A and B are shown apart, each in its own frame.
Chain A
Amino acid sequence: QKEVEQDPGPLSVPEGAIVSLNCTYSNSAFQYFMWYRQYSRKGPELLMYTYSSGNKEDGRFTAQVDKSSKYISLFIRDSQPSDSATYLCAMTPSGSARQLTFGSGTQLTVLP
Chain B
Amino acid sequence: EPEVTQTPSHQVTQMGQEVILRCVPISNHLYFYWYRQILGQKVEFLVSFYNNEISEKSEIFDDQFSVERPDGSNFTLKIRSTKLEDSAMYFCASSDSGGSRNEQFFGPGTRLTVL
Whether A88 touches B102, Cβ cut-off 8 Å, given contacts A42-B108, A43-B109, is: no
Using CB atoms, name the residue of chain A closest to B32. A97
Q: Is A100 an interface residue (CB 8 A)?
A: yes
Q: Categorize the interface residue count of chain A.
A: 20 to 34
Using CB atoms, name the residue of chain B closest to A102. B43
Are A44 and B43 interface neighbours, CB within 8 A?
yes
A100 to B97 Cα, complex, angstroms? 16
Are B42 and A96 interface neighbours, CB within 8 A?
no
Q: Is A34 an interface residue (CB 8 A)?
A: yes
Are B104 and A46 interface neighbours, CB within 8 A?
yes
Q: Categorize the interface residue count of chain B.
A: 20 to 34
A72 to B105 Cα, complex, angstroms? 20
Q: Is A98 an interface residue (CB 8 A)?
A: yes
Bitwise, A68-96 to B at CB < 8 A (1) or not (0) is 00000000000000000000101010111
Q: Is B75 an interface residue (CB 8 A)?
A: no
Are B42 and A44 interface neighbours, CB within 8 A?
no
B45: contacting residue among A32, A42, A101, CB under 8 A: A101
